Amino acid sequence: MTEDVVVRPMTAGDLAEATRIFRVAFGTFLGAPDPTRFRLDVRTIETRLATDPGTAFVAERGGRLLGSVIGMDWGSQFILGPLSVDPSCWGQGVARLLTAAILDAADQRKPALVSLFTHPGSPTHLRLYESFGFVPMFLTPVMSKPVGSAVPRRAVSCFSVLPAAERAAVLDLSRDLTDASFPGLDLAREVQAIEAQHLGETILLDDSRGLAGVALCHVGAGTEAGDGALFVKFAAVRPGAATEFERLLDGIEALAAERGVQRIIAGINTGRRDAYRLMVSRGFRAGVVGVAMHRADNPGTLRPDLYIIDDWR
List the domain boundaries for the chain. Answer: 6-111, 144-310
Element (H, E) at 308: strand 308-310
Q: Could you report the per-residue pLDDT of 101-156, keeping only the tens digit for each?
A: 999 999 999 999 999 999 999 999 999 999 999 999 999 999 999 998 666 666 78
C-alpha 124/C-alpha 201 separation (Å) is 37
CATH number for the 144-310 domain, one of 3.40.980.10, 3.10.20.30, 3.40.50.300, 3.40.630.30?
A: 3.40.630.30
Determine the pLDDT at residue 3: 87
Contact 84, 25 (CB under 8 A): yes
Radius of gyration of the chain (CA): 19
Give yes or no on whether 6-111 and 144-310 have one common fold. Answer: yes
Contact 97, 2 (CB under 8 A): yes
What's the CATH fold of domain 6-111? Aminopeptidase (3.40.630)
Contact 200, 190 (CB under 8 A): no
With CA atoms as reference, report the closest residue to 252 among 200, 290, 177, 197: 200
Dihedral sign from CA coordinates of 255, 47, 127, 185:
negative
Q: Please give the average per-residue pLDDT across 49-55, as a whole number.
A: 98
Q: Could you report the per-residue pLDDT of 216-269, keeping only the tens digit for each?
A: 999 999 999 999 999 999 999 999 999 999 999 999 999 999 999 999 999 999
- DSSP string for residues in 82-101: EEEE-GGGTTSSHHHHHHHH
Amino acid at 194: I
pTM score: 0.96
